[in-house]
Each structure stands twice: as structure tokens, then as C-alpha cells.
Amino acid sequence: MKDTHTMKPSKKYLPGVAAALLALTAGAANAQSAGSLQVKIGVNQISPQVDSGNLSAPSQPNTKIDVKSATSAILSGTYMLTDHVSVEGYVGLPYKHDIVGDGTIAGVGKIGTVKQVSPTVFGQYRFLEANSKVRPYVGLGLTYAKFYGEEGTGALTALTNPGGPATRHKVDAAWGLSPQIGTTLLINDKWFVDASVIKTFLKTTTHLSTGQSISTKLDPLAFNLSIGYRY
Amino acid sequence: MKNFRLGWLAAAVAAAVLAACGGGGDGDQTPHVKYGKLVSFGDSLSDVGSYKVGVVAQLGGGKYNINGATGLNWTELLAAQAGVTAPCAAQTGLNAAAALGGPVPVANHSGCYGYAQGGARVTNPIGPANAALLALGDSSAALGQLTVPVVTQISNHLAAAGGSFAADDLVTVMAGGNDIFMNLAAVQGGATPDMAVAAMATAAGELAGYVKTQILAKGAKHVVVVNLPDVSTTPYGISLGAQTQGLILAMVNAFNARLSTDLAGQDVVYVDAYTVGQDQTQHPDQYGLTNVTTPACNLATMTLPTSLTCNASTLITGQTIDTHYEYADSVHPTPYGYRLLAQLVTDNLLKKGWL
């Protein structure tokens, strides 16, 4: 299997001498070299590392929230500007996070849910040679986190306006910087596996229909694993 | 082939963006426990209209609150949050003196489970403003509150309900304040402060005993017991001066210490209104309170100077039923004060998995 895959493009694109050399390395002729385009599909788990502020008055002191992790599919495209420098865009399918009580209200359970998409554009530097089988990289991205589809729960209403109309909440969109480390592992000269860890520095504010608000540093850590194809 | 794949990618991205256009909402508001009804025992803080008859009704009152459509106490807010019908007074009536329109006969209301009555004590049947106190020269007793004590409230319910609680009852118990007032009056009449403190511990022991033997042992599965707030920092306490405030605090502490000790290990939600109430007094801004020392009701100009007959027309200048004053009269909360108490109760219920 492996041989047929590696041999085929070699025949197609490369002169005979070079082809013989490349066949030995089971690598890829036009791996991550300047001008190449890659697309990836994978899964990404976003785990907010929440540092919550306190819910504004009227509230019990130290009323905080935590946001649980969520996993979804991601799609990404990478364009090699040079053999080492790339631009990569991430678009995830929507994530749905549970919001739970913390601090004084730890243990009250789920107080809401929120969906988000957080497209990110990275500038990356890739180490080693363009045709290396394993190729680590570092990146720095700009993330735009859009929150939507917020839903409350009976617990949120009970804590903020017991017996009253359901309390709703709204989470502000936010921009954040996203440092990244990752690596690619070539399967053959077309297909590869990519894994990366992304930390995003993200701060937002949630507004309640009761007029209260709470600011939170979400600072999520994301782990993703993708399979990619190079054109 | 390339074009096809890029087209698929574009379609997926478009789908992701479109999915981002959904709206928010209320979410699931259903409590985790399905309750049948709320059954409340206690005093004025839980009373939903036992005396909304005769002169009290004529004055636009009935609850120890700022009376009006939104003048709800914590048991009413809790009932709404728990998804059960609003509690109604299990018994109404008033032994008012002739000058206050005369007595209104006592009536029991089947299907109503709000047993709490203003003036009710834990065990002693004579609480504040009970007509029996007239003979002792207590003019406030002209109102003639029934003050059926908690022990009798519970036995009345058991008699009406076939001897047991329903498994889906949400039962609330909050009492002790009137034992403070009556024991304090006893000190003014010659009893020693130590006797008053000891009497509070005894009352709390009795209340815990009723919760165990007359409520939990009779089939109740979801019981909320609220301890006694710090009466010493109410406008009433403040008016009595530092020394008496110290005695009241000692009495409250004796009551709560015994109540919590005797209920330890019981399957109840024990709500510490005392500690949070003190924090409200010390940090009013945190709780959105604008005044924690003086009443919102204009007691000086009221026919009956009590929140029982307070409504929007009897408030001090500048305040409305939505006021963020803590107190309506010298001891009873405003609707906002009750809401803060309800929030504390729901917080505790949620942590227990009971809401």
C-alpha cells in the first residue's frame, strides 16, 4: 500500500534520479515546501481554564462560574509561504459548553449552556526540512470567539430571580491571541497526521437579563488531532 | 478532484457559519424534583395571609411585607420556582378587639397548606399580639393574632392529610423569632437574661424534635429548615440599644446552635439565613440593598404600625414596592429582602439536588 502511494506521485512529478532517492526515504517530494496547500479535518477539544470574576450585585459574595470543555470537528487550511513559514486558518463546527456554578454557588449544577465558534488565523514557523517525516512547528494566532445560542436553566433563574421569569444570558464576542505548538507526521507524500496544542488568551463578559454581569477569563487550552491532505 | 474537495470544504464552513446564527433562550426551567405542593410551617416570615380578614384586609394588608401583587414572601417565590401552586393560608381569622372591628371567625381552608402564622412560636400558643395578652396590658394584642404554634400547625396538617406527608411535598420550617420577642418581654418583666437564652435553646430543641418526629418520621422527603436571622440588627433590635442587642444576639445564637446540633445528620436542607443575613447587613451593596437599618413603611402614620397592613400607599417618601430597603417594618423584610432569602434557599436546594 505504502509503496504504491509513494511511487505514484514520484513518477508523475519528479525526474528519474530524484525519484530514486526519494523512494528510499519514503518521504514526500514536494512536502511542506513553499507554495504548497494543505487541508485538514480533525477533532478539537476546547477546555476553558476559567478564572471567573464575581457576579455583580445583587449576589452572594464570591458567586463564580466555570465553563466545561467541549469537542467538535475542525477544518483547517495551510498555505506554505516559504519552506518554513506558513499561514493556517482554523474553522470549527460549533462547540456547545455547559456553564456550571463555582465559588459560593459551586455544586448548584448546570446554570446554562453556550455555543461558540472561534475561527483562528495562525502565522507558523515549521522546523526541519520541508520533506521531513516529522515536522514540529510553532504558531501564533488571532482568534475571534463568537458566542451564541445561550440558554439558561431553572438553576440560573432560581439563583437570580426565584419564582420570576426565566433568567437569560448573553456572552460577549471576544478577540484573543493564540500561541500554538504542534507537529505533522507524514503518512505518505499526500496524507499526513497533524496534532497541536493551542492556548488562547480570551476574556469575555456574560450579561444576565436580571441586569447582572460576570466577567471571566476563559483562556482555553485546545488539543486537536487532524488528518491532512496536501495538494 | 481538487475543485470538488475545496467545494466540500467551503460548504462545511458555510454550514458552520449558518449554525452560528441561532438564538438564545430560557433553556430547561424544569426542577430536578417534581413536587406536588408546598407545605409551610412557621411565623410571619412565611405567612401568606392568615390574617387577611377584617381590619387587616380593609387596610389593604394581609402579609408581613409590602402588600401588593408583587409583595411575595420567600415561600411564595420558592413555590413558583419549584413549579407548584402558590401557597394559601390553611387557616384564617382574627380575634380583634371591638376598636379594631371585632373578631373574625377562624376558618380552615382545605387544599391550602400555608400553616405559618404571624406571631406563632415553636410550642407556646401565646405569641405577640395574641388576644390573651390584652389582659396583661399589652395594647398591641388588640389585633388578636391567632398565633397557632408550629407544633399545632404540624399536627393540624397531619390531621387533615391522613397522618402523613406526601413524598412529593416540599416542606418549609422557619420559626423562633416570636420566641425571641416573648422571652425578651419576660426579661423586661423580671426574668433573667440567662433564662431567656436558655429558653431559646429549649425552643430550638423542640423545633428540631418536631422536624424529626412529626415531619421526617411522617413521610416528608424534602424538608427545608431555615435558621433564625440575626434579630439584633433589625430596626427593632437597634431601637433597643446595645445592651439589649447583645442579649438578643445571645438568644439567637443559642437558638441556632441548638437547632443545627439537633438536626445534624438529618436529611434536611438547613439554610443558614443567620450568617448570610449578617453579611447583608455588613455589605449591603453586594446584595443590592440601599438601606438595612430603617423601615420602608411609614409606621408613624399607619393605623396599625406593622408591615401586616403596609402597602404602596403607606411607604416613606421615595420608596415603592420595588424598594431595595431590607426592612418593611421593624423586623419584616421588603419583597426584595424576601427575594434575597428565597435566593439563599434555592441555592441550598440546588446544591442538595432538590430543585
Are A74 and A8 found together in one domain? no
Residue A205 β-bridge partners: A215
Please answer whether residues B331 and B178 qualify as being in contact, where contact means their C-beta atoms are separated by less than 8 angstroms: no
Per residue of chain A (231 residues), give pLDDT as tens: 344 444 444 444 434 433 333 333 434 445 678 889 999 999 999 999 999 999 999 999 999 999 999 999 999 999 999 999 999 999 989 999 999 999 999 999 999 999 999 999 999 999 999 889 999 999 999 999 999 999 999 999 999 999 999 999 999 999 999 999 999 999 998 999 999 999 999 999 999 999 999 999 999 999 999 999 998
Residue B57's domain spans which residues?
33-352
Residue B25 β-bridge partners: A151
Strands A63-67 and A110-117: unpaired
- CB contacts under 8 A, A 54-73 vs B, are 57-61
| Cα–Cα–Cα angle for A23, A25, A31, rounded to 5 degrees | 90
**The amino acid at B260:** S
The strand ranges marked E within A154-202 are 169-171, 174-186, 191-199
Q: What is the pLDDT of residues B129-186, one digit of tens each?
A: 999 999 999 999 999 999 999 999 999 999 999 999 999 999 999 999 999 999 999 9
Task: Tell me, yes or no, whether B4 lies in a domain.
Answer: no
Are A76 and A186 found together in one domain? yes
Number of structural domains (chain A) is 2
d(CA A11, CA B194): 102
Nearest to A58 among B22, B340, B350 (CB): B340
Instruction: For cell 496534532, name the residue.
Output: A195
Say whether residue A155 is in contact with chain B using an 8 A CB cutoff: yes
Please answer whether residues A221 and A47 qualify as being in contact, where contact means their C-beta atoms are separated by less than 8 angstroms: yes
Model pLDDT, residue A33:
86
SS3 B332: coil
Which grid cell is A155? 438553576
Task: Tell me, yes or no, whether B304 lies in a domain.
Answer: yes
Nearest to B286 among A61, A92, A157 (CB): A61
Domain CATH code at residue A175:
2.40.160.20
Smallest CA–CA distance from A93 into chain B, residue: B16
Are A71 and A4 found together in one domain? no
The strand ranges marked E within B112-239 are 169-174, 222-226
| Contacts of the segment B68-73: beta carbons below 8 A, 24+ positions apart | B68/B311, B68/B312, B68/B321, B70/B321, B70/B322, B70/B335, B71/B311, B71/B321, B71/B335, B72/A163, B72/B335, B72/B338, B73/B45, B73/B46, B73/B47, B73/B48, B73/B333, B73/B338
d(CA B126, CA B287): 35
Interface test with B, best of A157, A160, A212, A213 (most B CBs within 10 A): A157
Strands A174-186 and A37-47: unpaired
Are A1 and A96 found together in one domain? no
- CB contacts under 8 A, A 1-30 vs B, are none
- Count CA atoms within 13 Å of residue A79 on its CB side: 5
Say whether residue B17 is in contact with chain A using an 8 A CB cutoff: yes
Distance of CA B265 to the CA centre of its chain: 24
Q: At what angle do helices B335-352 and B273-282 cross, to 10 degrees?
A: 130
Residue B82 Cα, gap to closest chain A Cα (Å): 8
Q: Is the peptide bond before B335 cis (omega within 30 degrees of 0)?
A: no
Q: Does A162 contact B343 at a Cβ distance shorter than 8 Å? A: yes
Say whether residue B30 is in contact with chain A using an 8 A CB cutoff: yes
Residue A168 Cα, gap to closest chain B Cα (Å): 6
Smallest CA–CA distance from A61 into chain B, residue: B286
Are A154 and A130 found together in one domain? yes
Number of structural domains (chain B) is 1
Instruction: For cell 411609614, name the residue.
Output: B298
> What's the complex ipTM?
0.91
Domain CATH code at residue B257:
3.40.50.1110
Q: If we measure between CA atoms, which residue out of B171, B174, B352 comes closest to residue B256?
A: B174
Are A90 and A139 found together in one domain? yes
Smallest CA–CA distance from A154 into chain B, residue: B29
SS3 A45: strand
Strands A95-103 and A63-67: antiparallel
Are A78 and A15 found together in one domain? no
Are A140 and A129 found together in one domain? yes
- CB contacts under 8 A, B 280-339 vs A, are 283, 285-289, 339
Cβ-based contacts of A104 with chain B (< 8 Å): 347
Are A5 and A83 found together in one domain? no
Instruction: State the DSSP string of B15-27.
Output: HHHHHTT---EEE
Residue A221's domain spans which residues?
31-230
Distances (CA, A) of B249 to B184, B232, B233, B253: 11, 6, 9, 6
Q: Does B344 contact A60 at a Cβ distance shorter than 8 Å? A: yes
Ranges in chain B, pLDDT < 70: 1-24
Distances (CA, A) of A87 to A36, A76, A181, B2, B345: 11, 10, 14, 20, 54
Are A43 and A6 found together in one domain? no
Nearest to B342 among A149, A154, A162 (CB): A162
Distances (CA, A) of B152 to A21, A45, A88, A126, B224: 98, 59, 75, 80, 18
Task: Tell me, yes or no, whether B93 lies in a domain.
Answer: yes
Are A66 and A24 found together in one domain? no
Are A153 and A72 found together in one domain? yes
Please answer whether residues B174 and B42 qualify as being in contact, where contact means their C-beta atoms are separated by less than 8 angstroms: yes
Cβ-based contacts of B17 with chain A (< 8 Å): 117
Which grid cell is B98? 371591638
Which grid cell is A86? 506558513
Task: Tell me, yes or no, whether B334 lies in a domain.
Answer: yes
Please answer whether residues B90 and B109 qualify as being in contact, where contact means their C-beta atoms are separated by less than 8 angstroms: yes
Q: What is the pTM of this model?
A: 0.89
Please answer whether residues B329 and B295 qualify as being in contact, where contact means their C-beta atoms are separated by less than 8 angstroms: yes
